[in-house]
A and B are shown apart, each in its own frame.
Chain A
Amino acid sequence: MTLFDKFSKLAQDRASLIQDKQKSPFGTRIDQIYSPTEGRVGERRVVLAGTNNYLGLTFDPDCIAAARHALEEEGTGTTGSRMANGTYGSHWALEAELAEFFGRRSAMVFSTGYLANLGTIGTLAGPEDIVLLDADCHASIYDACRMGGSQGIRFRHNDAADMEKRLRRLGDRARDTLIVVEGIYSMLGDQAPLADIADVKRRLGGFLMVDEAHSVGVLGEHGRGLAEAAGVEADVDMIVGTFSKSLGAIGGFAVSQHPELDLLRYASRPYIFTASSSPSSIASVRAALKVMQARPELRQRLWDNAGRLYSGLAALGYSLGPQLGPVVAVTLGSPQEGVAFWNALIENGVYVNLVLPPASPGGQALVRVSVSAAHSFEQIDRIIEAFDRLRPLVAGGEQAPAQLVEGEASAG
């Protein structure tokens, strides 16, 4: 087998999945962006409902003004690592602001959210250490275990009792285990049972890390995420997150009360061996953090939109994710049916994310609709109407039974 032969299966799978006249759902070219919620794909103007732009801040005037000012004052890029010439005053200022926002001792800013997980988990947990992770954790968390060579052990998704069983099984080693969960899981949009997980940690020990990538700005009275909403911030040793969702730019962060976080800077390869975020990105994130705090009504609007979409799709009989939230997952059928449905949604003026197995659970394709505070009710209704027109494409067609499980709606 030569170096490139391993990709032949990928090429075959791709060819069998996407028909000649279909657009590819993977790496879709969005030809023009009009607003946080509208764009153009080919000739088709679409409502963007697969962007993770939860608060719609990508076009916020304050964020744009801050980014523009930084661009003009500090240039297009830092051209260097945080460790060398890539730490500007604004990187430090953002770290101080994040630490204050989360009420933690210190913060570290990374160049992406992916690198934040790699740079924290992959550095903290080495070959002698155990990482106990939810089975549905993001790929970056799995990759971080690989990078650090740590001993990753999975527990059943969102099952605190299963987590407890596996932690008990570790005996004395439980006390030094790094437990990793997510605030909102990106595929199904469900939340970790964090109060129960924190309770297990209190009883058996371990260190608890919560990836709040999809929950910062979305959950909690102040938008600090699930740890705040669940009232267990004191039990969480470290929060990691991203700037590329609610905060509307790119980058990642970690906050913690442990003083060792500051030492991680000198040991974390994904922090050291990559260039730092551009001044304009840092500036827009700092502005977005202020807007997020000053305008809690954005969070309320996000939840109103999520509720409208969730109930609208449930009423149509679609099989949805288990819990109401700004990610609404709709289970479809085979991967081929998924591709056809996704294409038909584009034709009906709606862009969403298609997720195929094994990334989607149960061997079935799903479309992941993400809601923004910037969506108008009219846009949400257009999304629902498109799904209504496409009901005949889904297995069971018009008779598709409702499989809605009542979730705990919480903007809390």
Chain B
Amino acid sequence: MTSQEQVLQRLFVHLGRLVRDKAAIHPDVDLVQELGLDSIEVMNMLMEIEDEFDISVPLNVLAEVRTPAQLAQAIFGLLEAGE
């Protein structure tokens, strides 16, 4: 079974493709305010993650999510629920 840490590492890989300043990426960075992602980039990343882990991640999880750690936790929760 996938761990929450593994989910976070995959998020970092995706963020690494989107963000110029790779050093700025850490679990508690704000995806929009600090990394400068726009809403479409975040939603597109979510689509990649859905395919990678073969799960459905509804957009409304994003309402509560600001950081990679929070997103990893939300995705991990959905993975657990589906096990």
Contact = CB atoms under 8 A, between A and B. Distances in A.
A130 B43 contact: no
B50 interface: yes
Interface stretch (B4-12, B21-29, B33-41, B64-72): B33-41
B56 A166 contact: yes
B54 interface: yes
A156 B44 CA distance: 9
B60 A358 contact: no
Given A135-B43, A135-B47, A153 B38 contact: no
Interface stretch (A50-58, A144-152, A199-207, A255-263): A144-152
B59 A145 contact: yes
B77 interface: no
Contacts of A130: 56, 58
A169 interface: yes
Contacts of B60: 145-146, 149-152
A357 interface: yes
Given A135-B47, A154-B47, A156-B47, A358 B40 contact: yes
Contacts of B40: 357-358
Interface residues of B, number: 18
Contacts of A169: 50, 54-56
B64 to A, nearest CB: 13
A166 B47 CA distance: 10
B61 to A, nearest CB: 9
Interface size grouping (class) on chain A: 10 to 19
Interface of A is mostly: mixed
A135 B60 CA distance: 15
Nearest to B37: A358
A142 B47 CA distance: 15
Nearest to B54: A169
B53 to A, nearest CB: 11
A170 B38 contact: no
A165 B60 CA distance: 20
A188 B41 CA distance: 18
Nearest to B63: A146
Contacts of B51: 165
A9 to B, nearest CB: 9
A34 to B, nearest CB: 37
Nearest to B62: A152
Nearest to B61: A151
Interface of B: 38-41, 43-44, 46-47, 50-51, 54-60, 63
21 contacts: A135-B43, A135-B44, A135-B47, A142-B59, A149-B60, A150-B60, A151-B58, A151-B60, A152-B59, A153-B57, A153-B59, A154-B43, A154-B59, A166-B50, A169-B56, A170-B56, A357-B38, A357-B40, A358-B38, A358-B39, A358-B40
Give the top 7 A-B pairs by smallest Cβ distance, nearest first: A151-B58, A152-B59, A358-B40, A358-B38, A169-B56, A153-B56, A154-B47
